[in-house]
Chain A
Amino acid sequence: EVQLVQSGAEVRKPGESLKISCKGSGYVFTSYWIGWVRQMPGKGLEWMAIINPRDSDSTYSPSFQGQVTISVDKSFSTAYLQWSSLTATDTAMYYCVRHGYYSAGYPGTPVYWGQGTPVTVSS
């Protein structure tokens, strides 16, 4: 069974850094792209970024480029999303997703979702 287990809720102050994680299991970690999706309180889904766990090739939405960094540690089958300096507008639920139903040159759509990591940024 494919599972994505994310790290727990975080509370930080503006200006602080943060790294949240997403551990994949039940499949070959390096065979499927992993992405991150933001959902601000009461709002819709926003696609943030995607990474190929095999070679760490990554792409960011223009809205999130330079604001966050995604990475993976293949040895731990874990993907990460990190901020160097949080602001209040980063308060949201963050989901990691495993893509699937891929074809040549297309990583596939988000198929499996983690349970979400709520991040609160407040002074």
Chain B
Amino acid sequence: QSALTQPRSVSGSPGQSVTISCTGTSSDVGGYNYVSWYQQHPGKAPKLIIYDVTRWPSGVPDRFSGSKSGNTASLTISGLQAEDEADYYCCSYAGTYTWVFGGGTKLTVL
């Protein structure tokens, strides 16, 4: 059960859009529509921002959106804001009541 692959870092200017990819296998990302995304600010607990590939928990702005194609899921953040600067993690169900996280991506807002 290997960690999902995410880019180490991405960056964008305020108002722009950025996309973070999350690549797994047919045993996790590709096998289930159960990919979630988490935002983690320094020193804080992670916060769920997308679940079931495309769904938003209550209170999460629709600037955050998710998608999936094959074994790769993506998180797109549009209209970048300074407070979006954080670490982002994908997480996929991997069957038999197990989950796997991605390695994390550091988003820098320029």
A and B co-occur in one complex? yes
Stretch binding the partner chain, chosen from A13-21, A23-31, A56-64, A75-83: A56-64
Is residue B68 contacting chain A, with contact meaning CB distance below 8 A? no
A109 and B91 in contact (CB under 8 A), knowing A47-B99, A47-B100, A63-B1?
Answer: yes
B98, A59: Cβ atoms closer than 8 Å: yes
Question: Chain A interface residue count: which class?
Answer: 20 to 34
Instruction: Report the bound CA distance from A50 to B96 in whole Å.
Output: 11
A59 and B96 in contact (CB under 8 A), knowing A109-B52, A110-B48?
Answer: yes
Point out which of A45, A101, A114 has the most chain B C-beta atoms below 10 A from its C-beta.
A45
Is residue B101 contacting chain A, with contact meaning CB distance below 8 A? yes
Instruction: Report the bound CA distance from A46 to B40 in whole Å.
Output: 14
Interchain nearest-CB distance for B20 vs A (Å): 13
Interchain residue pairs with CB less than 8 A apart (12) = A45-B38, A45-B89, A45-B91, A46-B3, A50-B97, A59-B96, A61-B98, A62-B1, A95-B45, A109-B51, A110-B99, A113-B46
Residues of A that sit less than 8 Å from B by CB: 35, 37, 44-47, 50, 59, 61-63, 95, 101, 106-107, 109-111, 113-116
Residues of B that sit less than 8 Å from A by CB: 1, 3, 34, 36, 38, 40, 45-48, 51-52, 55, 57, 87, 89, 91, 93, 96-104
